Amino acid sequence: MKVTVERAQLLKSLSHVHRVVERRNTIPILGNVLIRAENARLSLKATDLDLEVTETLAAEVGTAGSTTVPAHMFYDIVRKLPDGSQIVLEADGDRSVMAIRAGRSRFTLQTLPENDFPDLAAGEMTHSFALPASDVKRLIDRTQFAISTEETRYYLNGIYLHAAGTATAATLRAVATDGHRLAQIDLKLPKGADGMPGVIVPRKTVGEVQRLIEDLEAEITIELSQGKIRFTLGNVVLTSKLIDGTFPDYGRVIPQNNDKELVIDKKDFENAVDRVSTISSERGRAVKLALSAGKLVLSVTNPDSGSATEELEVEYASDALDIGFNSRYLLDIAAQIEGEVAVLRLADPGSPTLVQDKDAKGALYVLMPMRV
């Protein structure tokens, strides 16, 4: 194999691909990136067995061929090579090294045979649709915070993507929850997504897709089957396994009849929660919300350090209510509100509260109170 490629392009592609590679690997080949040169193109591929990313870029291919080299080291080398240089990669089948040359620098990296490189074997994809990158980004940005990190409930360790809504207003819906909070975003169901299976996209995959989105104007093609999902963003293709589990019936935790409505300026609320929670030594202590006509009093008491109180003028006309929330969860949710005004619908101190944008925007959040 012999190929010449521009440093800036190679660096950009490697920066996308190498992130998938775990820093510590017990299987050596998983620490490597697969390099393949053919038809005036260079393709790079990395995998952690659950997720693989392939990126192709234009290159001057002298001799076609392929090999694998340690991903992080390759990335570091390319990163440190001078800007604007042309990089020559050369590997010959007999010796198990690849040479990297640029200007007066020369490196050799030990290779592993490309035949050993695992393939995710995506198989047949049953559904395919396209979404604007900005929609995919919003879908992820607004739900990611609610993904559970507890392995005991592995089926909550991702975003549940499925078709929902009614026949006339069908939606593509993303839901994430850890049992304490829940986020749900609806988009108009794109063509080709009809009858798609509900899939749970793992947290790591979600994070990688999010990082790969650079151009919000672009289109992202999503293909999926029962077991796999594939995102194509320009010349980057990310294929991932899905979480094999059943996402719980989240619909029943979304409150339908919460009759106490609190309308509040999002920024004021966020800042006030942030301020009073300073007093808690650890994030995650309860903030108490004391609601009465037209008034909200936020307070935190920390037996070790002191207390904090802040009063806000709000739109609230129901019976007085005291309710507590985990301050971090409350901040997380407040940060999701895109508009200037948030609406909280409450029932009682022991039941989930619904949080929405004043002009709903197809997003809703649910937060479980804490006992205070």
Partner 1 sequence: MSSSPAELSGPRCFCRDCLVDLDARVKRCTSCGSPRLVRHHALPSLTLAHIDCDAFYATVEKRDNPDIVDRPVIIGGGKRGVVSAACYIARTYGVRSAMPMFKALDLCPDAVVVRPDMAKYVRVGREVRHAMQALTPLVEPLSIDEAFLDLSGTQRVHGMIPAKVLAKFAADIERTVGITVSVGLSVNKFLAKIASDLDKPRGFATLDQEDAVAMLADRPVSFIYGVGPATAEKLSQRGFRKISDLQRADETDLMKQFGGEGRRLWRLARGIDDRLVVADRGAKTISNETTFNEDIRDYATLEKILWRLSEKVSSRLKSSELSGTTVTLKLKTADFRQRTRSQSIQSPTQMAARIFDISREMLAKEIDGTAFRLIGTGVSALKPGNEAGDDNMLDRRSSHAERAMDDLRKKFGSAAVIRGIAYDGPEKPRT
Residues that bind partner 1 (CB under 8 A): 148-152, 177-180, 182, 248, 250, 253, 282, 284-286, 303, 326, 350, 352, 366, 368-372
* Shortest CB 159 distance to partner 1, Å: 16
- Comparing CB distances to partner 1, the nearer of 180 and 204 is 180
* Shortest CB 132 distance to partner 1, Å: 32
Here the tokens at position 299 are: 């307070």
Q: How far apart are CA 281 and CA 327, in angstroms?
A: 12
Quickly tell me which residue has 């063509």 as its tokens. 191
* Shortest CB 100 distance to partner 1, Å: 41
- Comparing CB distances to partner 1, the nearer of 14 and 146 is 146
- Comparing CB distances to partner 1, the nearer of 81 and 146 is 146
* Shortest CB 282 distance to partner 1, Å: 8
Q: How far apart are CA 151 and CA 153, in angstroms?
A: 5
- Comparing CB distances to partner 1, the nearer of 75 and 365 is 365
Question: In the sheet that 32-38 helps form, which strands lie side by side, from edge to edge?
Answer: 65-70, 32-38, 41-47, 51-58, 236-241, 228-233, 219-224, 127-132
* Shortest CB 190 distance to partner 1, Å: 29
Please, which residues have CB within 8 angstroms of residue 76's CB and are 6 or more apart in sequence? Answer: none
Question: In the sheet that 86-91 helps form, which strands lie side by side, from edge to edge?
Answer: 60-63, 2-6, 86-91, 97-102, 105-110
Q: How far apart are CA 144 and CA 319, in angstroms?
A: 34
* Shortest CB 237 distance to partner 1, Å: 33
- Comparing CB distances to partner 1, the nearer of 87 and 183 is 183
- Comparing CB distances to partner 1, the nearer of 66 and 326 is 326
Q: How far apart are CA 177 and CA 241, in angstroms?
A: 20
DSSP, res 196: P
Q: How far apart are CA 233 and CA 144, in angstroms?
A: 20
* Burial state string for 104-121 with b = 16 or more CB within 10 A and e = fewer than 16: eeebebebbebeebeebe
Cβ atoms of 364 and 338 closer than 8 Å: no
- Comparing CB distances to partner 1, the nearer of 9 and 301 is 301
* Shortest CB 358 distance to partner 1, Å: 24
- Comparing CB distances to partner 1, the nearer of 82 and 179 is 179
- Whether the CA torsion 94, 45, 155, 171 is positive or negative: it is negative
Q: What is the DSSP string of 218-235?
A: SEEEEEE-SSEEEEEETT
* Shortest CB 161 distance to partner 1, Å: 18
- Comparing CB distances to partner 1, the nearer of 191 and 371 is 371
* Shortest CB 206 distance to partner 1, Å: 17
Here the tokens at position 304 are: 């070790």
* Shortest CB 229 distance to partner 1, Å: 24
Q: How far apart are CA 35 and CA 64, in angstroms?
A: 11
- Comparing CB distances to partner 1, the nearer of 202 and 352 is 352
Please, which residues have CB within 8 angstroms of residue 333's CB and are 6 or more apart in sequence? Answer: 145, 181, 183, 355, 365, 367
